[in-house]
Amino acid sequence: MTPAAIEAAPAAPAKLTKKDFESGQDVRWCPGCGDYAILAQVQKLLPDLGVPIEKIVFVSGIGCSSRFPYYMNTYGFHTIHGRAPAIATGLKASQPDLSVWVVTGDGDGLSIGGNHLIHAIRRNLNINILLFNNRIYGLTKGQYSPTSEQFKITPSSPAGSLDAPFNPIALSLGAQSTFVARTLDRDLKHLGATLRRAYDHKGTSFVEIYQNCNIFNDGAFKNFTEKNEKPESTVNLRHGEPLVYGARQDKGIVLNGFTLESVNIGEQPEKKSDLLVHDEHCEDSTLAMILSGLTGYDGLPLPIGVFRDVDRPRYEEGLTEQIERAVAKSGSGDLDALLNSGETWEVKA
């Protein structure tokens, strides 16, 4: 390049930073809420994606987590209770070039919004669904939620909730989600890496985030976040690697028929060859479903990481192709001609 050409060349766009995605509004979550960590990790991730700010949209419903769009310097919709997946579906179908993120909670997404959630997942649009799970209704002051443990005492269940809790991971797998993961608000490195994996996936990504509500359900996930307890109570899912855990990595998981069991490979090294090897790309979701049944309270560790990551056609791409074929067939895309084509009748007086 000549000096003149260099001088005439347009300047490269400035690299975006985390601050570019901060809206400047006061964040109105309770001090110490796990939502702060999630917000910070999302804002930290977005500059690395290379997506213009005007091409990013956050869609939320109702709940503490659903204030998320206010704090993002992007486009956003704060919609109605449980309907964020439906709004996001329409948005992505009509504007497929947008990066669409759904932010919901265990109450918003799994109670009134449960039906919208499963249909958004099964359609496999290229959107990212972040479900903040604190196992409580935080915004409305502590009632039990669809993920609260059975017999939980709350203002709405003074004698203990009789409902069996939903398993968000199993629900997503049952709807045939092509990307399913679980992460924790207090494990910032894992949270950031999981969010990046979710974005990179082409199709619907569903990420359950264990999020501490320090006002109404403090310590709900203590077993899985505290340094001295986490190694024994969680197992990291790593594709192609055996499922091992423990402070000394001396325990592992084997599959006995359709039942998962823990073995001590420190005491029984011959069991090492029997350890279950994680395959997140398996088309059959049966094994992922079995793993989703581990709660961390049944003598086996809670799985953390990516359960499933497979490829399937995206809804919005198929819809665009249908429209293009219809336009090509009609030759003009004439709406009046379309309405008067096919089986039509003329009603005569």
Is residue 4 pLDDT above 90, yes or no? no
Q: Across the strands, what pairs with 255?
A: 260
Q: Please state the rounded mean pLDDT for residues 278-304.
A: 96
What gap in Å lies between CA 123 and CA 204, rounded to an integer? 8
* pLDDT value for 193: 98
pLDDT in tens, 328-339: 877 666 777 767
Q: Quick one: pLDDT at residue 69?
A: 98
> What is the structure's pLDDT at 1?
40
Helix pair 35-45, 188-200: axis angle to 10 deg: 50
Contact by Cβ (8 Å): 210, 182:
yes
Local structure of 255: helix, strand or coil: strand
Least confident range from 3-7, 24-28, 52-56: namely: 3-7
CB 148, CB 164: distance < 8 Å: no
Asked if residue 343 has pLDDT above 90, the reply is no
Tell me how far apart the alpha carbons of residues 163 and 150 are, in angstroms, rounded to a whole number.
6
The two tokens of residue 295 are 């709660």
Query: What is the residue-wise DSSP string for 15-56?
Result: PP-GGGGB--SPP-S-TT-THHHHHHHHHHHGGGGT--GGGE
Pick the more confident residue, 5 or 18.
18
pLDDT tens per residue across span 77-102 = 999 999 999 999 999 999 999 999 99
Give the distance, in angstroms, between the CA of residue 89 and the centroid of all CA atoms in the same chain.
Answer: 15
pLDDT at 253 over 70: yes
Q: How far is Cα 175 from Cα 124, in angstroms, rounded to an integer?
A: 10
Contact of 156 with 242, CB cutoff 8 Å: no
Q: What is the mean pLDDT of the chain?
A: 93
Contact 162, 153 (CB under 8 A): no
Rounded to an integer, the average pLDDT of 127-150 is 96
Is the model's pLDDT at 3 over the cut of 60? Answer: no
Pairing of strands 75-78, 127-133: unpaired
pLDDT at 323: 87
pLDDT of residue 6: 47
Terminal Cα-to-Cα distance of the chain (whole angstroms): 77
Torsion of CA 189, 190, 192, 196, to 10 degrees: 140
What tens digit of pLDDT does each residue of 203-249 get?
Answer: 999 999 999 999 999 999 999 999 999 999 999 999 999 999 999 99
CA atoms of 212 and 220, how far apart (whole Å): 7
**Domains along the sequence of the chain with CATH:** 16-241+278-315 (3.40.50.970)
Determine what percent of the chain falls in helix, strand and coil, rounding each to the nearest 5. Answer: 35, 20, 45
